[in-house]
Amino acid sequence: MKTGVCTTDFEKQPLRTADALFQRIRAIGFECVQFAFSSVTESDFTPTGQLELPGTISREALAAVARASEKTGLPVCVINATFNMAHPDPAVRAEGLARLGVHLDAAKALGCPILSLCTGSRNPDHLWRPSPDNGTREAWDAMFETVSRAAALAEKAGVTLAVESEASNVIDTPAKARRLMDEVGSDRLKMILDAANLFHCGEAKPENARRTLDEAFAAYGADIVAAHGKDIRAGDGIDFCGTGLGIVDFVYMAERLRGSGYRGDMFLHGIYDEDDMPRALDFWKRASGAFTK
């Protein structure tokens, strides 16, 4: 298992080209990336609250990422293709699916096997913000139709899609994630394990850390294709933080991944401070021990 990082953790500087970004990631010591085209200037794209993936990817931008990846030896193992798959406006969902097709082609061009998705929220302004309507039948049906259509596109492209349980989204528990995979019935729909995202308000307590992971592994342990190293601080709310600064039991997480036969990579996430990334990387390597070697 390689240790990588989500490129969205790096501030998009005015002159941060694909080459500069990949060089910086390699210098810190990471071995692979979960990549978002919004992270590099060549894409000329800024995410919105509904669509975090560009509608077009120029040949020049794709070539720049491919060169940077080859030059630094950092494979692109996951590409972000997140949009609000439960948005109340069908036009937003349709536009997201159209853009997903562009990213499936990009993934194939870069030799990337996985696209990450967001099951979304009925919040019309932002896909990562909760809505009181997320538990309704209408929310489930909209999300389910969008995910099903996305899975059909992925099957044709030969690329895997990965979602995650996220407290602010329609899929907010491991049980719902299991239901989604079973009802969609596609081998191209899998899971990202992000332990911090498993906690709901009032649950972020150290004594819940292992039980929360156990519930996720019981529901979909064999279907995890990517893991995130995001953390969450103890408290009654949801307060994400960098790897090793919260209550996630990363030693136990590594043990459970190993026991499940996991063969994917770990992507540190939620750091957003380049100066803190070496510490986070060292923390994960020590926590995971021989599993990363």
19-43 pLDDT per residue, tens = 999 999 999 999 999 999 999 999 9
Beta-carbon contacts of residue 282 (< 8 Å; ≥ 6 apart): none
106-149 pLDDT per residue, tens = 999 999 999 999 999 999 999 999 999 999 999 999 999 999 99
Alpha carbons 141 and 145: distance in angstroms, whole number:
6
Alpha carbons 293 and 290: distance in angstroms, whole number:
5
Instruction: Provide the pLDDT for residue 20.
Output: 96
Backbone angles phi, psi at 18, to 5 degrees: -55, -45
Whether 158 and 108 have beta carbons less than 8 Å apart is answered as: yes
Amino acid at site 178: R
Q: What is the mean pLDDT of residues 217-229?
A: 98
Instruction: Tell me the pLDDT band of 15, cut-offs 50, 70 and 90.
Output: confident
Sign of CA dihedral 128, 131, 135, 138: negative
Amino acid at site 133: D
Tokens of 65: 């990422």
Give yes or no for residue 293 having a pLDDT over 60.
no
Q: What is the mean pLDDT of residues 50-70?
A: 97
Tokens of 9: 């953790």
Which element (helix H / strand E) includes 91?
Answer: helix 90-110
Q: What is the DSSP pairing of strand 231-232 with strand 240-241?
A: antiparallel
Give yes or no for residue 292 having a pLDDT over 90.
no
Give yes or no for residue 12 having a pLDDT over 80.
no
Whether 146 and 97 have beta carbons less than 8 Å apart is answered as: yes
240-279 pLDDT per residue, tens = 999 999 999 999 999 999 999 999 999 999 999 999 999 9
Best CA proximity match to 248, nearest among 206, 282, 289: 206
Domains belonging to the chain, first-starting first, are 3-287 (3.20.20.150)
Instruction: Provide the pLDDT for residue 289.
Output: 86
Instruction: Tell me the pLDDT band of 290, cut-offs 50, 70 and 90.
Output: very low
150-194 pLDDT per residue, tens = 999 999 999 999 999 999 999 999 999 999 999 999 999 999 999
